[in-house]
Structure 1
Amino acid sequence: MPEGDTVYLVAKRFDRAMAGKTLLRGEFRVPQLATVDLSGRTVRGVGTVGKHLFTRFSGDLTLHSHLMMDGMWDVYPAGAKWRRPGHHARVVLAADDVQVIGFRVHDLKLVATPKEHDLVAHLGPDLLDPHWTDEHAARAAAALAADPGRELGLALLDQRVLAGVGNLYKCEIAFLLGVTPWTPVSEVDAGRAVALARKLLLGNATAGRFEQSTTGHLDRNRKNWVYERTRQGCFRCGGKVLVRTQGHDVQQRPTWFCPKDQQGPYPPQ
């Protein structure tokens, strides 16, 4: 599932393409919205809260969407051929010079703009909130520490704790804290964990790059400390990086870590 910074950048690209333009075509290819026609409405803007994307139209109407594992909003010049199969398109928005297509986007809902917060009220503080304050940081740290025995990695992925972290950042945050993702949250500095999470997501989001880096390098083999580095080894010490499964059922994720640089428990092979 895309991290919060990826969704943020998708929204920014969408916004640059469509904000202020009037739709000549605005159709849905999902049963629950198949009769809705958005043509004639103006796109007021596109924004995010965590991994949730909101497209706002004139008339106080908002479209909510989520990328999940396979969704994407693609931007094309008017009349250009789509790079993805047409039967994957669930939303088609077109102005006179541009079209934005929602391929396999999920959780599509149309709501009154003043009510859109109701769809994300359950989330923790958004790590990319432009109005982030010390109060947001304190609230996120308190939520992270609220269940002391919970595994750090599972707590970081819980969007009700803080919104935006995905599996890549989960692994990298644990590495930078010097503990394994299976370490109880009681054994980490929750405030530092939140600060690291915001720093990493914000760094990539403000750089405007879809190529994520947690090390400051963009070379393919130097981008991350441990994430997906079972072949290359730990970027810090060069030692072996292990991968184990964390979580259960739909929350199950492959999880990378360096047993030399990270202290704490982890599952046997």
Structure 2
Amino acid sequence: MPEGDTVFRAARRLDAALTGHVLNISDFRIPRYATLNFVGWRVESVVSRGKHLLIRLVPPAGPHQHQPGVSIHSHMLMEGHWDVYASGERWRSPSFQARCVLGNSAFQAVGFELGFLRVLRTHDEPEAIGHLGPDPLGHSWDPLEAQRRLLLDPERPVGLALLDQRLVAGLGNIYRCEVLFISRINPHTPVGQISDLAHVVEVTHQLLQANKDRARRMTTGASGPDPYWVYGRTGKPCLRCGGTLSHERMADPEAPGGQIVERDLYFCPNCQAVDDSVRLRVANRA
């Protein structure tokens, strides 16, 4: 699943290609919005908020000028992506995967296999994304608010809390695993037992900021065959201690919507050792 840095880069590419220009292509390829037509509307901005992307449009002057601005709100989920093409350039993905096409005289922006796509009035954005926690890549990033939200349930394992978009927006499985390894914290540790939660929040901010401009995400700080400390490296030696890295599945019974989804968890049993109280808690959950 694309994480916050991926969506941030996508929004920046779209913003450079679309913002300030009037649309001459408006093509929604999902039944609910198939009749919408924003040709003649101007793109005001494109922004990301965690894993969410918003393309804001304002109506043209004339009979439509008193209409409210609208936002095209998308989420990529697992396979989605937004591409930018010069006018006339061949698409890199098959056209049947396209869900939204927006264009001006110079560029086309195409959203492929988007997890969801909806159109709402721009002033209704808070109803759609107001639940999200602080965004490490946002202008209003607030580390103290992130800590406060993480501590709302001090008994919740930090490995689950970091994936909750209501607490911190933009983190996915990769960053969850890497942040906890760098911080030397076992994923099963209750948030309330972490002695320096501010450090965990700061590492989160630093990693996303470091990767927002990189074509290839890395967390080790060095280019090479292993861009990650632990993610996806089951059974391989730990780059810090040389021990064997572990993998397990971790389910969140408190996930929004009541859907219990197991997510892959990668960690080093040596660098991220648990104390007896945490080990007992894990055994009881099993």
TM-score bracket, normalised by the shorter chain, equals over 0.9
* RMSD (Å) for aligned C-alpha atoms: 1.8
Matches within 5 A, 1:11-50: 11-50=11-50
Question: Which amino acid in the other structure matches residue 160 of structure 1?
Answer: R
C-alpha contact 2:28 2:34 (8 A) present in aligned 1: yes
Give 1:170's match in structure 2, choosing from 176, 192, 196. Answer: 176
Matches within 5 A, 1:93-172: 93-132=102-141, 136-172=142-178
Structure 1 residue 230, shift from structure 2 partner: 2.1
TM-score by length of 2: 0.87
Structure 2 distance, partners of 1:194, 1:259, is: 22
Structure 1 residue 116, shift from structure 2 partner: 1.3
Q: Quick one: structure 1 residues 210 and 253, their matched pair in 2 at CA, closer, same or farther if it must change by over 3 Å? A: farther
Structure 1 residue 131, shift from structure 2 partner: 3.0
Structure 2 distance, partners of 1:175, 1:141, is: 18
- Equivalent residue number for residue 53 of structure 1: 53
Structure 1 residue 197, shift from structure 2 partner: 0.8
Matched length = 263
Structure 2 distance, partners of 1:250, 1:213, is: 29
Q: Which runs of 5+ in 1 are unaligned?
A: none
Secondary structure, counterpart of 1:157 in structure 2 = coil
Report Cα offsets for 1:140-170 as digits up to 9, x if no partner: 1011112121111100000011111110110
Structure 1 residue 117, shift from structure 2 partner: 2.1
- Equivalent residue number for residue 64 of structure 2: none
Question: Which amino acid in the other structure matches residue 260 of structure 1?
Answer: N
Structure 1 distance, partners of 2:133, 2:34, is: 32
Structure 2 distance, partners of 1:224, 1:32, is: 40
Report Cα offsets for 1:202-261 as digits up to 9, x if no partner: 1111xx11311112112232x221111225421212221111111156532111101111
TM-score by length of 1: 0.92
Larger Rg, first or second structure (1 or 2): 2
Q: Which runs of 5+ in 2 are unaligned?
A: 60-68, 253-258
Question: Which amino acid in the other structure matches residue 99 of structure 1?
Answer: Q
Secondary structure, counterpart of 1:172 in structure 2 = helix
Matches within 5 A, 1:199-210: 199-205=206-212, 208-210=213-215
Secondary structure, counterpart of 1:178 in structure 2 = coil
Report Cα offsets for 1:107-165 as digits up to 9, x if no partner: 32212222212211111111111233xxx211110111121211111000000111111
C-alpha contact 2:165 2:171 (8 A) present in aligned 1: yes
Secondary structure, counterpart of 1:63 in structure 2 = strand
Q: Quick one: structure 1 residues 83 and 250, their matched pair in 2 at CA, closer, same or farther if it must change by over 3 Å? A: farther
- Equivalent residue number for residue 259 of structure 1: 269
Question: Which amino acid in the other structure matches residue 273 of structure 2?
Answer: Q
- Equivalent residue number for residue 244 of structure 1: 248
